């Protein structure tokens, strides 16, 4: 090689090597959100959903669900926002809102006694009101949770609202109306309301008598109730994995609920010195990791999550828009944190294929409820999997606002 050519070739090689190194460093250090270019069909989206790379902290794994399409959902109000602004009022059964003849603001009028499993709701705002099963409303005689996903139209008459009590044997002489709790019950409790719709099972789940299975355990539908030595032994024999005690025991939950002030109820889980800091610190760390992993998105938005506890994909909440998802995300995240901390756990991890399989539509028995021109509620069950879809009918084409899927604990 001619000496002058050698002088040109060596610097060029050095520059090329440096460029390759920079490229590889950038690729490996930047957040890689998309696991692979595979679309999972959404309920009414031609483009479908894309599953992001999993974010794991201790025994909780969260897969972001991404969409390049953004449905317009600003015309719907959430329950928390409507209660906070006064656009929605929730009162004990027998309390209803009525405008006086001179057009004054509505006043609460008594017309009967309170009922544990029914409240009255009035939407006096200018937007349809979205309710999700498991949302907590605080006040009245005791805190309650919404029993089913539904939409309350603009101008609807005061209507009975099916709810579940989360405070067994507590019935106070508090006020008649409710405020936004900004809280969602954890999935094991939420399942009993949304799917089983059974008050006794809701109470049992709050006490910790019904808990999710340990990762990879109970594929036949069994549960690991509590964290006692016998349950751990059965789980280990079944899975050949080390099963550890939950960080928050059912006894701790029971003590917190039993000692809660009458006006706090379920929220005491988050506010107590014994449990609250663990839940909040756990949630903040998961949130930090998810924010970091999704900060580099271009042309796509996070519209939901798939959630796994240990080695078991168990839950999914997906919305029509990132706006709706962001409105619910803080309380959903904390509900997942409570669930993760109260389940017996293994260190088994889930795969991307597990998450993708979980999003496949259920094909079993279908139940449906419809309010013409307002919403359609559909439930599909297949084995341990139950899928619930809430669709708004007052817009064209109809729009699925919320899609929920759960792996049943029993």
CA 202 to chain centre: 17
Contacts of residue 380, Cβ cutoff 8 Å, sequence gap at least 6: 361, 362, 363, 364, 365, 366, 386, 387, 389
Q: What is the mean pLDDT of residues 186-199?
A: 90
Q: What is the mean pLDDT of residues 98-126?
A: 62
CA distance 213 to 309: 9
Contacts of residue 331, Cβ cutoff 8 Å, sequence gap at least 6: 135, 182, 183, 184
Radius of gyration for the chain, computed over Cα atoms and rounded to the nearest angstrom: 24
CA distance 385 to 294: 28
Q: In the chain, helix, strand, coil percent, each to 5?
A: 30, 30, 40
User: What average pLDDT does the structure give for the chain?
Assistant: 77
> pLDDT per residue over 121-133, tens digit each?
999 999 999 999 9
Q: What is the mean pLDDT of residues 363-383?
A: 93
CA distance 274 to 267: 13
Given a cut of 50, is residue 217 above it in pLDDT?
no
Output the pTM of the full model: 0.78
What local confidence, expressed as pLDDT, does residue 332 receive? Answer: 97
Given a cut of 80, is residue 159 above it in pLDDT?
yes
DSSP output for 341-380: HHS-B------HHHHHHHTSPP-SEEEEEEETTTEEEEEE
Residues 156/123, Cβ–Cβ less than 8 Å: yes
Q: What is the mean pLDDT of residues 31-43?
A: 45
What local confidence, expressed as pLDDT, does residue 22 receive? Answer: 41
Distances (CA, A) of 230 to 161, 225, 270: 41, 10, 29
CA distance 400 to 265: 32
Given a cut of 50, is residue 176 above it in pLDDT?
yes
What local confidence, expressed as pLDDT, does residue 97 receive? Answer: 45
Distances (CA, A) of 206 to 134, 139, 249, 250, 334: 12, 18, 12, 9, 15
Lowest mean pLDDT among 21-30, 341-350, 357-366, 391-400: 21-30
What local confidence, expressed as pLDDT, does residue 392 receive? Answer: 97
> pLDDT per residue over 302-356, tens digit each?
999 999 998 899 999 999 999 999 999 999 999 999 999 888 767 677 899 999 9
Q: What is the mean pLDDT of residues 151-171?
A: 82
Structure tokens at 366: 């279908």
What local confidence, expressed as pLDDT, does residue 40 receive? Answer: 55
Report domain extents, the chain. Answer: 37-407
List, in sequence order, every residue forming a beta bridge with 150; answer none if it has no partner: 131
What local confidence, expressed as pLDDT, does residue 37 receive? Answer: 37
> pLDDT per residue over 60-82, tens digit each?
999 999 999 889 999 999 999 99
Phi, psi (degrees; rounded to nearest 5) at 135 = -70, 140
**Shortest CA distance to 395 belongs to which of 130, 75, 156, 78?**
75
Residues 41/67, Cβ–Cβ less than 8 Å: no
What local confidence, expressed as pLDDT, does residue 258 receive? Answer: 58
């Amino acid at each position: 090689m001619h000496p002058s050519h050698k002088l040109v070739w060596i610097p060029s090689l050095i520059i090329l090597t440096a460029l390759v190194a920079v490229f590889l460093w950038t690729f490996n250090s930047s957040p890689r959100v998309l696991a692979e270019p595979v679309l999972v069909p959404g309920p009414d989206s031609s483009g479908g959903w894309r599953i992001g790379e999993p974010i794991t902290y201790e025994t909780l794994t969260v897969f972001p669900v991404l969409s390049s399409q953004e449905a317009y959902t600003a015309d719907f109000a959430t329950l928390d926002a409507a209660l906070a602004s006064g656009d929605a009022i929730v009162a004990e059964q027998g309390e209803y809102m009525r405008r006086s003849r001179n057009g004054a603001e509505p006043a609460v009028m008594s017309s009967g006694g309170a009922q544990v499993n029914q409240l009255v709701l009035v939407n006096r705002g200018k937007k349809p009101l979205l309710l999700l099963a498991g949302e907590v409303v605080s006040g009245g005689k005791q805190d309650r949770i919404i029993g089913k996903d539904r939409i309350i139209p603009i101008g609807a008459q005061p209507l009975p609202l099916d709810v579940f009590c989360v405070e067994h044997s507590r019935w106070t002489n508090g006020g008649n109306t409710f405020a936004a709790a900004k809280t969602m019950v954890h999935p094991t409790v939420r399942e009993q309301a949304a799917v089983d719709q059974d008050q006794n099972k809701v109470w049992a789940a709050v006490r910790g008598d019904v808990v999710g299975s340990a990762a990879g355990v109970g594929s036949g539908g069994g549960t690991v109730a509590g964290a006692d030595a016998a349950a751990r032994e059965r789980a280990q024999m079944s899975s050949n994995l080390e099963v550890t005690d939950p960080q928050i025991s059912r006894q701790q939950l029971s003590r917190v609920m039993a000692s809660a002030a009458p006006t706090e109820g379920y929220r005491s889980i988050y506010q107590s010195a014994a449990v609250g800091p663990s839940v909040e610190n756990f949630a903040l760390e998961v949130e930090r990791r998810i924010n970091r992993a999704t900060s580099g998105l271009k042309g796509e938005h996070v519209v939901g999550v798939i959630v796994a506890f240990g080695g078991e994909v168990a839950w999914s909440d997906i919305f029509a828009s990132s706006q709706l998802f962001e409105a619910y995300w803080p309380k959903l995240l904390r509900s997942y944190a409570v669930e993760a901390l109260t389940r017996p756990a293994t260190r088994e991890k889930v795969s991307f294929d597990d998450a993708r399989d979980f999003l496949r539509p259920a094909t079993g028995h279908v139940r449906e409820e419809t309010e013409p021109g307002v919403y359609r509620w559909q439930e599909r069950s297949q084995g341990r999997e139950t899928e619930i879809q809430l669709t708004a009918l007052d817009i064209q084409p109809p729009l699925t606002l919320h899609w929920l899927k759960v792996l049943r604990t029993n």
